[in-house]
Amino acid sequence: MALKTLTYEVFGRVQGVCFRHYTCSKAKELGLVGYVRNTSSGTVEGVAQGEESQIIKFSQWLKTEGSPSCRIERCNQQFQETDKYDYDTFQQRK
């Protein structure tokens, strides 16, 4: 099983539209661990870890779907291979 870490930052109208809530739900649905949080610059950022196939699905979801009321302009992403999980669950951070 190939494990991957995805670091991401989503730009657009992503704060105040339940983006973190939907991101957390999607990550848990896919069996990922990590976190999502708002930034002071109006973006949403986070880290997700899990099986490569699930990380790819999550990556695509972040770029194209998000929450129903959001407007995603772009999503910067960086992938890394990992051999262990750094988190126990996926959670929203403040």
Asked if 13 is an active-site residue, the reply is no
Asked if 74 is an active-site residue, the reply is no
Q: Determine which one of 38, 71, 76, 93 is catalytic.
A: 38
Pull the structure tokens for residue 38.
């708002």
Sign of CA dihedral 6, 10, 15, 21: negative
Q: Determine which one of 20, 37, 74, 76 is catalytic.
A: 20
Pairing of strands 90-93, 3-13: unpaired
Which are the catalytic amino acids? 20, 38
